[in-house]
Structure 1
């Protein structure tokens, strides 16, 4: 779940002409052959159905809808121009003419057509380049430059965190995660944190997040790269080119597979919901594919916890067994608690015992978002998430 994460879009991505991973399509199982009486799904064929206590061995399949339309997310034969900085614009439009004028490409004598064969390596390099470069196509296909670093001193982390954690949309959590920080007083930085499994579950769950969800949280951030423009292009892309509004939503608000959320409830990421088609082994996430004369509620499926194989309480869910104590460094190296490891951290940072103090912080939705943003662009995630105020971060980075 952490090293080979899947999103709810995997059923669509299996139809891509070029696949960038070899992950198998997620399988679902249900009990019995009477498709209209069972409402439980499992990722395991050996699971026991909570309703009838039978083995859940019958396969269920997620349908993507009308295959006659063609394409994956957009309709077949849709043609667009994608600029070097990943803007998506229609061909022969005012925007495309402006693009050529801006580049000085006023006639055929100043341009030439080049055709490239794109494989998995080029796609992955293009992806990483888009995180740190404004010209990923040029860097990947023409110059073959080394992939740029994502983080940069020019990235205004403070502004980014402030834009995502301010305002009335951030609500106070009734239950927070307690984290003990070991802080260097003279350097005003987190040396390491002593945490329980709940905080490590939160950190590990960041690995399950779809890239689109991260971009959605950081939409107003001043990116060094241009991947944010690709996300904005999806939001502005004419809906008539998409196979359906549901397909556009897969990209603009990507969801996790059912049961993969765990502590991500603090971040607000949603899990997909599946519905059974009557008298069929097929499942759908798009309610418009259900019979129009009835409410979708009777067809809604529940999914067993993918780790426990049982419908356990949310408080018992997680990637780690507890209770346990862990050490987490400022750059998010997670280890079982060890005095030797903690001493080595202080030694490497050249921090004496007289210079450290304990600080306890509570992690709710606001703090979880700060950790997400800081971990994506900073090597000092805990310091930036818990010790730096947004305006202070902006000043330090400008200096």
Structure 2
């Protein structure tokens, strides 16, 4: 059997070899689609892809805590699985990317082991999460795969084959070292040459590199910690995992709601133990506070950037978000604007975190299962 070649994306880099720096890159919509797709990834998925070295605050430690806790501390086994491998509400689009680094398995279908229970319900209850428990109390059983090609998450059908997944048309784009995206033009290139003090563009080296899934994942990691992500990929500079970036949050994290009557959240109280010099040793908290912390893992990256604005990360990945508003405005499909700028969580996330950050949940899909139902003997 012939070996299936791994897909790659060609990206042209404009490199200043003397200063060991990539000034900018030129690429088509395939690469920009992949970059914009990062905004839909749940934070827990990013932590897992980075092997718990994402440097997104203390989320690496939160993820490790979920791993180490026994399933006895969760309502169901599925709850732990949903946090360690959160589903992407925009997976219907992301699965069409030329390179999709999210390896979370979404197509699995689980139904109740009790066939009489399933038959007695008009709409067959199902789940896409391993370890889910039916309302009757029995564990759900894996029964196969299903294709999510319908609903709000489904990518548009019948579009121009030359168009991208998120971007419009077949264009060339300029991507700066700190991941600002804009349509390519001679005037933009000249302004970048002037910005970097390049008197003669002929002195720059133009190099085409091929990015595979591993390189794309590495680029995501660098974008979380560095303002020179393309330079880091090309020159293979080490990532500083010990760097610390502290900032002060604004007093008001989100705007007022027009109708806040049904959105009131009770205060969460914690008890802290401090030393005499006010250093915090540890805190004791109820399950509400732990739910709040663990819920962060299901929040999409774009929603975090939206909430915290320019204070979200010490890297440059948030420039992708603001490019859609600015330099790349008008080059993203209208139906994809909300997917990237206000990404939703998967159905039934139902945690305090989504309510506090005003992250909406995707409406549940309705799936009609036709065919024979396998029976099990006990």
TM-score, shorter chain, exceeding 0.5 = yes
Change (3 A) 1:42 1:263: farther
Match of 1:235 among 313, 325, 330: 325
Unmatched runs of 5 consecutive residues or more in structure 1:
32-36, 283-399
* 1:74–1:241 CA contact under 8 A, matched in 2: yes
Match of 1:25 among 89, 106, 117: 106
Matched, 1:65 2:153: no
Change (3 A) 1:166 1:79: closer
Matched, 1:247 2:336: yes
Match of 1:263 among 344, 348, 352: 352
Task: Give the secondary-structure state (helix, strand or coil) at the position aligned to 1:241.
Answer: coil
Q: TM-score, normalised by structure 2?
A: 0.59
Change (3 A) 1:239 1:101: closer
Q: Which residue of 1 aligns with 2:87?
A: 6
Q: Which residue of 2 aligns with 1:186?
A: 276
Deviation at 1:222, TM superposition (A): 7.8
Deviation at 1:90, TM superposition (A): 1.6
Distance 2:105 2:255 in 1: 41
Aligned length in residues: 264
Q: Which residue of 2 aligns with 1:285?
A: none
Listed as ranges, the matches of 1:34-53 within 5 Å are 42-43=126-127
Q: Which residue of 2 aligns with 1:393?
A: none
Change (3 A) 1:180 1:29: closer
Task: Give the secondary-structure state (helix, strand or coil) at the position aligned to 2:210.
Answer: coil
Matched, 1:213 2:294: no
Deviation at 1:204, TM superposition (A): 0.8
Deviation digits for residues 139-167 of structure 1 (CA, Å, limit 9, x no counterpart): 1222x1111348535x4x11xx1165387
Match of 2:219 among 99, 112, 126: 126
Task: Give the secondary-structure state (helix, strand or coil) at the position aligned to 1:115.
Answer: strand
Change (3 A) 1:262 1:118: same
Task: Give the secondary-structure state (helix, strand or coil) at the position aligned to 1:122.
Answer: helix
Task: Give the secondary-structure state (helix, strand or coil) at the position aligned to 2:211.
Answer: coil
Change (3 A) 1:100 1:212: same
CA root-mean-square deviation: 3.7
Change (3 A) 1:119 1:150: farther
Q: TM-score, normalised by structure 1?
A: 0.56
Listed as ranges, the matches of 1:1-399 within 5 Å are 1-26=82-107, 42-43=126-127, 61=148, 62=150, 63-70=154-161, 71-92=164-185, 94-142=187-235, 144-149=236-241, 152-153=244-245, 155=246, 157-158=247-248, 161-162=249-250, 164-165=252-253, 168=256, 174-221=264-311, 223-236=313-326, 238=328, 240-242=330-332, 244-264=333-353, 265-273=355-363
Deviation digits for residues 172-209 of structure 1 (CA, Å, limit 9, x no counterpart): 97442433322315222332122222211111111111
Unmatched runs of 5 consecutive residues or more in structure 2:
1-81, 113-120, 370-378
Deviation at 1:47, TM superposition (A): 7.8
Task: Give the secondary-structure state (helix, strand or coil) at the position aligned to 1:125.
Answer: helix
